[in-house]
Amino acid sequence: LSTNRVRIDLITICKLAETSKTYSYHSGRHSFASLITLEAGVPMETICKMLGHKDVKMTQRYARVTQKKLFEDMDKFIAATEKDFVLAL
């Protein structure tokens, strides 16, 4: 697929979805990196390879930790460490 073809298809999809928002191939890469893979627990290094990046730093620009993922990871951390760190009263 050419870049132009993808752009035209995205415009068509937005019209069919009756949304006023505009989407781009670039926003799709951000969604893939953050919402689809990172939030599902896929390691950053794997996402890097999936996006064709040579450096994880580039992938980190695309993959942002969502609030949902942050809370899930905090819950995992608390569950894993609560036995080891008990406050003495």
CA distance 47 to 4: 25
What separation in angstroms does the CA of 28 have from each of 37, 49, 71, 72? 12, 16, 24, 24
Of all residues in the chain, the percent with pLDDT exceeding 90 is 39
Average pLDDT over residues 32-52: 92
**41 torsion bin: left (phi>0), alpha (psi -120 to 50), beta (else):** left
pLDDT of residue 49 exceeding 90: yes
pLDDT-derived band at 56, boundaries 50, 70, 90:
very high
Number of other residues whose CB lies within 10 A of the CB of residue 68: 10
CA distance 34 to 74: 17
Quote the mean pLDDT of the chain.
88
